[in-house]
A and B are shown apart, each in its own frame.
Chain A
């Protein structure tokens, strides 16, 4: 079976990889590209741990075929920080203790960034519904929601200016 050649941009870098026609973007990121920040928690789009942004759209990469990434721009958690300069969401998650085991953290960060890009000043309810596609089993969501709202404030105040 011949493999599909995919050329795309991941976290700002040009990337080429080969994948099977039926391989998911998640598996390609992890196994072909070597980016393991996105995790597989369920493989059915129900936990959000594999969240990435492709061409401006927040997606579960476990439900996307890798071949679809041809010519696309993909962002993963590995590209959120600017060198040593953390994104305000990352900083607020650290300071706000929004992670315990940390397995869901990359997915939450990506989803939260997509949420704030769309809605820079969300209410608590909007944050909760906006992040409903990401499961966390450790925190009860409390500190995650607070940290996202803190990051929004930081960004809006210009103190967390980033990219």
Chain B
């Protein structure tokens, strides 16, 4: 670990607590959504479109309804009409199609029956009459002049002049600074390259699942795994046209999400089916459904042009980004625009980003959404500039790296960040100068993610024995309960084992936004700290009562209310004064009834000051020149965590991001047949890395505390997936002389490049 700044010494923060939910998980007893069964439950399946683009002429459910065991059948008609101007229109019509289907796998109906087999048989008996429409399957097709337009209401947001006709371009985002023409005119070297990437899936191992039970009173309970159960509640209520209070969502353990479970698919269907049938309804996706009908990452076409002076100073940058977000509008392009040049000081820059739609599954967030793809472009062009100028890749980055006070792409000055520290951590790592074997190469790349804050709530309840329950509204996706326990322990001054951190349901804790944007430990951590500090205020008051002293004379020290009046508390030793000096948290808790009642405190806030996270990766590959197969032989990843509350899970987030990024770089992709049907909706042909595909991943935690967080936390969940694609690409270039600019860098593509003598498919 590299510690770059002096930091306060903590008693619990920074230790490697065994995670509170661990025992249930290693014994197989943890309850994930599909593990829940409720007496009387029905099983439901979704009828999905076999076409990528079609008008629904009619749906005949009569045969299905007549089949054995069938208790309810629903279609889009069973939900309130939703206008295209509605804020959540896309989510609503994605969950169940109304007049049109926009991708193969789009839900058109759902059937609940006594058994899964009966439901499957009945689903097959739902007759849907489609008028098949021409499908738009690539970015080029979506942008073509004569392209079929998916959404007749879609006018390009941000267009200048304002768009008058509908198109497949959902939005245009532009950022600029300085004078771009003058910048390029001053440059000694200008390199412009084009990149293309395919959709990839988060690949969480747990398929989406839920159980919903609508009571006779019309109030529904949903058990599901999601990254945000408050969002499940609001989205479901929106789709059904219900008041929010009618829905309670119980968070199950979540088996991975990485952004993919920030939106919903099944829950409103399950509630509607349950309402109709008067029985609980369970729904579990198959893996094929997960691939075809949930949200992969966008696909992209990106053009990046960079200009630099001979000494390596970047002077101009121009980027044109097109992100396809699948069937509905999304924010990929905008996020790409915010990240493409963020890591470096480029005085003159322009970015134009388009968000387009096409007939593939609606994209969802995937770990630092959009950023890995802009990093792929920027970091490989930088590598080429370094190569052509004869400057070391590391030196070029150090020379141009943003630091505190530099302006971000969006124009605000950056707070204290740790980019340079991450670069230096890699430069001083033994890996940096380690020898390479034949056919091996080394690639360096950096990545940035801004992280977010949003709303979080926490409640701290002190129990009569001096233990504490910490309730938050953030689903724990990578160990956040352990972090909450550590921060609460530090604040309250009690052992983390005496703290029970739990994820409360939507009625047990205040509103909390989705676990996304690396915000849980940051923002929900702030809410926990706030609740604990409120609790300490209360505890000091109670202690003052018990000691019969002024509350201002009480300090909270290491889990104890300590009397500091008269300035002699430290030396007192006899009789009454000893009792006055110090009361433990447990002693105060025991007497709570007599000092004012239950000890409970809350924290609810809109977290500001999320600290940008930077990551710098170094990757060694070995390329088989005969087959184009690339193996990762060594990997080191440095990342600024601000403060690592639980170092093991910070390392785990970094290592997991690297593995996903390597999969994205080398083999993962959605493959579509010409009619838009996904050809590889399973883990055999959608190739996520297996254990033997990877080496150990050396995670180097850099700690440059975020000044806006009480413990200096920056989010750590996302930045780690940003550098791997360019790190692998730069390593392949180092090994073979070939620059590959189209993902995935599969054996077929690598061998093509080697055979072509270093020229990539789209030129070099």
Per the CB under 8 Å rule, do A and B touch in the complex? Answer: yes
Partner among A49, A96, A129, A131 whose Cβ is within 8 Å of the Cβ of B205: A49
Say yes or no for A15: interface residue by CB 8 A criterion.
no
Say yes or no for A101: interface residue by CB 8 A criterion.
yes
Question: Which stretch (A32-40, A64-72, A155-163) binds chain B?
Answer: A32-40
Given contacts A43-B286, A145-B696, contact A139 B655 (CB under 8 A): yes
Chain A residues near B23 (CB-CB < 8 A): 94
**Please, how many angstroms separate the alpha-carbon atoms of A109 and B22 in the complex?**
13
**Please, how many angstroms separate the alpha-carbon atoms of A81 and B25 in the complex?**
12
**Please, how many angstroms separate the alpha-carbon atoms of A31 and B43 in the complex?**
12
Say yes or no for B79: interface residue by CB 8 A criterion.
no
Question: Which stretch (B249-257, B458-466, B488-496) binds chain A?
Answer: B249-257
Contact B202 A137 (CB under 8 A): yes
Chain A residues near B657 (CB-CB < 8 A): 140
**Please, how many angstroms separate the alpha-carbon atoms of A37 and B25 in the complex?**
9
**Please, how many angstroms separate the alpha-carbon atoms of A46 and B254 in the complex?**
20
Most chain A beta carbons < 10 A, residue from B205, B478, B656 = B205
8 Å CB interface, B155-202 against A: 202
Contact B203 A102 (CB under 8 A): no
8 Å CB interface, B1-57 against A: 16, 18-19, 21-23, 25-32, 34-35, 37
Contact B26 A94 (CB under 8 A): yes
Chain A residues near B683 (CB-CB < 8 A): 41-42, 44, 46-47, 135
**Please, how many angstroms separate the alpha-carbon atoms of A145 and B286 in the complex?**
28
Say yes or no for A114: interface residue by CB 8 A criterion.
no
Contact A143 B648 (CB under 8 A): yes
Task: Say how far A119's CB is from chain B's closest CB, in angstroms.
Answer: 15
Say yes or no for B398: interface residue by CB 8 A criterion.
no
Say yes or no for B295: interface residue by CB 8 A criterion.
no
Say yes or no for A54: interface residue by CB 8 A criterion.
no
Chain A residues near B18 (CB-CB < 8 A): 94-95
Most chain B beta carbons < 10 A, residue from A40, A93, A131, A146 = A40
**Please, how many angstroms separate the alpha-carbon atoms of A47 and B258 in the complex?**
18
8 Å CB interface, B513-542 against A: none
**Please, how many angstroms separate the alpha-carbon atoms of A18 and B187 in the complex?**
76
Say yes or no for A127: interface residue by CB 8 A criterion.
yes
CB-nearest residue of chain A relative to B661? A140
Residue tally, chain B, CB below 8 Å to A? 57
Contact A102 B655 (CB under 8 A): no
Partner among B29, B206, B648, B649 whose Cβ is within 8 Å of the Cβ of A37: B29
**Please, how many angstroms separate the alpha-carbon atoms of A38 and B256 in the complex?**
16
Partner among A99, A131, A141 whose Cβ is within 8 Å of the Cβ of B26: A99
Overall SS of chain B's interface: loop
Given contacts A36-B28, A125-B692, A128-B691, contact A101 B34 (CB under 8 A): no
**Please, how many angstroms separate the alpha-carbon atoms of A152 and B19 in the complex?**
22
Overall SS of chain A's interface: loop
Say yes or no for A55: interface residue by CB 8 A criterion.
no
Task: Say how far B137's CB is from chain A's closest CB, in angstroms.
Answer: 26
Task: Say how far A66's CB is from chain B's closest CB, in angstroms.
Answer: 14
**Please, how many angstroms separate the alpha-carbon atoms of A42 and B193 in the complex?**
38
Say yes or no for B207: interface residue by CB 8 A criterion.
yes
A114-127 Cβ-contact flags toward B at 8 Å (1 or 0)? 00000000001101
**Please, how many angstroms separate the alpha-carbon atoms of A23 and B657 in the complex?**
37
A90-105 Cβ-contact flags toward B at 8 Å (1 or 0)? 1001111101111111
Contact A140 B656 (CB under 8 A): yes
Chain B residues near A139 (CB-CB < 8 A): 652, 655-656, 659
Closest 7 CB pairs of A and B: A37-B28, A103-B255, A102-B25, A140-B655, A140-B659, A97-B648, A77-B28
**Residues of B participating in the A interface, judged by any CB pair closer than 8 Å:** 16, 18-19, 21-23, 25-32, 34-35, 37, 202-207, 253-258, 284, 286-287, 477-479, 648-649, 651-653, 655-660, 682-684, 688, 690-692, 694, 696-697, 699
* 5 A-B pairs in the complex with CB atoms less than 8 angstroms apart: A30-B35, A42-B683, A102-B25, A129-B692, A135-B203
